[in-house]
């Protein structure tokens, strides 16, 4: 089974890991247009999937020094050993003493060897792992043109046997054009010699978005595309074929942030901290409230501005758990500093689940005394933190909210967070009443320095008027099952939202999609 270096497979989809980790060798073509991230993907496979002594990256497009300039993380000693510059391999091979580039045998001997190899293939399971690299098809190509660097790679793979090797060729066109070969015949040679007969995983990178009819020769096919979404760049990895592998997700959003390839929307199981420790609050910058997410604070220039109202428009295919990854750290950061929360929850949100989530990391008594949830459908309640607004008339409702605000402020009269789901207000009271309530909330927020967070769903009548008044405006969307966020005001690139795997939930991080 192929193992990952450093014990992490974070950047590569699990289907690809399973495919390359299967029994025997596998061949994979990675195709895509210029600038889609194919080279970065190949290098990521080298580190995440390959073993240090049995993985090789044959570069025909750029030399190793150019790769190190573009991808500084390759300079680590164990990674440098895997980068095979085709030009240097060529010189190494032709300068090797006493070595023929293309050994010749009598035709009768070749036929005997070929027949023996074909027979041995049928007993591959019984004979165990190979100890020598099959060169039958390579030898046939060498009759037409010497290929010293390819022979050099074959030699390295043979030295690693019976261990399974990983070979990444970047690019397939670079080799075939250099030696005047048909792409099909070269792929066939690698498939038969290395993949089927020598227990080698071979990844071949194409410089173009189409494979030109050679897909049937290989075991797997991956394409990488780039597109524009609301004038922002997005990349997709599509799993088109992975033989003998269950493809649970055919497409992944990806990023090349920091010169690394990372598929988004999945992660290894997080190691939950023992006992769900108390939330450690992030300090607020002057004139700001921390979001509880360092990446988000940096994006906002310090956090949410004090006295601001901030809009989050959530797409229809984004789940509650997805956008709560963004909001939960902010709620916790307020509560852990003795600041309260007043909330109007959206349809589908649960006050019980919210309490359960927050009290894993803050004292239950703190939640019960400083959080107030206005429930406009409830006539009565046994929970002290619920304000049953359905039983009140207009004047009573106003008095109930004043009481709720006193609880949220606490004896220290601290500012509090106002979380308002406008789909609830519009559906129960109509758009005009919801807009008036919003205006009052904005005035209160700015007057006392509270923090306002407004949740908007698609199709709301109140959206256009409300968004004109918001200090910030973000959209939360789903890209290939990865929850993402980007700013309209301020304008930002797209970021994926995920749990910080090093810290565990509810710590979250934002990863730029570039």
The enclosing domain of 346 has a CATH number of 3.40.50.300
Please state, for a pLDDT cut of 90, what percent of the chain lies above it.
63
Residue 41 in domain: no
Domain range for residue 503?
A: 288-512
Count of domains in the chain? 1
Question: Which range has the top average pLDDT, 45-54, 297-306, 401-410?
Answer: 297-306
| Within a domain: 258 | no
Q: In what order do the strands lie in the sheet containing 309-314? A: 386-388, 371-375, 341-344, 417-421, 451-456, 309-314, 472-479, 482-489, 495-499, 508-512
Does residue 117 lie within any of the structural domains? no
For residue 442, what pLDDT is reported? 78
In a domain? residue 487: yes
Cis bond before residue 262 (omega within 30° of 0): no
* Mean pLDDT to the nearest integer, 33-43: 91
Interhelix angle for 172-179 vs 183-190, to 10°? 120
Percent of residues in the chain assigned helix, strand, coil, to nearest 5: 40, 20, 40
Percent residues over pLDDT 70 in the chain: 83
**Does the pLDDT value for residue 67 go beyond 70?**
no
pLDDT band, residue 397 (cuts 50/70/90): confident
Beta strands in 282-349 (DSSP E): 288-289, 304-305, 309-314, 341-344
pTM recorded for the entire structure? 0.84
Residue 339 in domain: yes
Is 484 a member of any domain?
Answer: yes
Contact assessment for residue 513 and residue 226, using Cβ atoms and an 8 Å cutoff: no
Averaged pLDDT for residues 412-434: 90
Mean pLDDT of the chain: 86
- Band (pLDDT 50/70/90 cuts) for residue 26 is very high
Say if 34 falls within a structural domain. Answer: no
C-beta separation of 420 from 455 below 8 A = yes
């Amino acid at each position: 089974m192929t193992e990952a270096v450093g014990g992490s497979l974070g950047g590569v989809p699990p289907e690809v890991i399973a495919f390359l980790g299967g029994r025997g060798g596998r061949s994979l073509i990675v195709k895509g247009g210029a600038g889609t991230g194919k080279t970065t993907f190949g290098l990521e496979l080298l580190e995440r999937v390959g073993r240090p002594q049995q993985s090789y990256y044959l570069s025909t497009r750029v030399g190793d020094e150019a790769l190190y300039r573009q991808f500084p993380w390759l300079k680590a000693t164990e990674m440098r050993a895997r980068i095979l510059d085709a030009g240097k391999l060529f010189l190494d091979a032709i300068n090797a003493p006493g070595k023929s580039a293309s050994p010749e045998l009598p035709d009768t001997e070749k036929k005997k060897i070929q027949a023996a190899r074909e027979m041995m293939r049928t007993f591959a399971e019984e004979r165990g792992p190979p100890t020598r690299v099959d060169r039958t098809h390579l030898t046939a190509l060498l009759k037409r043109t010497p290929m010293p660097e390819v022979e050099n790679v074959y030699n390295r793979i043979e030295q690693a046997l019976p261990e399974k090797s990983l070979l990444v060729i970047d690019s397939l066109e670079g080799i075939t054009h250099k030696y005047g070969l048909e792409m099909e015949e070269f792929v066939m040679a690698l498939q038969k010699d290395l993949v089927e007969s020598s227990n080698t995983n071979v990844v071949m990178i194409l410089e173009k978005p189409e494979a030109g009819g050679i897909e049937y020769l290989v075991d797997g096919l991956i394409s990488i595309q780039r597109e524009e979404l609301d004038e922002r760049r997005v990349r997709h990895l599509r799993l088109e074929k992975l033989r003998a592998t269950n493809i649970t997700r055919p497409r992944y959003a990806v990023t090349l942030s920091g010169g690394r390839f990372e598929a988004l929307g999945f992660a290894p199981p997080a190691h939950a901290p023992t006992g769900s420790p108390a939330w450690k609050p992030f300090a607020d910058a002057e004139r700001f409230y921390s979001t509880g997410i360092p990446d988000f604070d940096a994006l906002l220039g310090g956090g949410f501005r004090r006295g601001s109202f901030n809009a989050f428009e959530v797409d229809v295919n984004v789940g509650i758990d997805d956008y709560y990854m963004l909001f939960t750290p902010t709620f916790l950061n307020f509560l852990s500093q003795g600041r309260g929360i007043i909330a109007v929850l959206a349809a589908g949100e649960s006050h019980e689940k919210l309490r359960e989530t927050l009290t894993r990391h803050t004292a239950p008594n703190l939640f019960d005394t400083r959080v107030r949830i206005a429930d406009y459908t409830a006539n009565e309640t046994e929970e002290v933190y619920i304000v049953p607004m359905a039983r009140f008339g207009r004047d009573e409702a106003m008095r109930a909210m004043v009481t709720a605000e006193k609880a949220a402020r606490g004896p220290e009269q601290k500012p509090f967070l106002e979380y308002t789901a406008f789909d609830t207000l519009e559906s129960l009271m109509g758009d005009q009443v919801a807009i008036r309530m919003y205006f009052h909330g904005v005035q209160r927020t700015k007057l006392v320095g509270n923090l306002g967070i407004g949740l908007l769903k698609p199709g709301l009548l109140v959206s256009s008027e409300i968004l004109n008044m918001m200090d910030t405006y973000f959209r939360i969307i789903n890209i290939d099952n990865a929850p993402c966020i980007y700013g309209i005001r301020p304008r930002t690139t797209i970021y994926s939202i995920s749990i910080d795997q090093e810290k565990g939930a509810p710590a979250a991080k934002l990863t730029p999609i570039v």
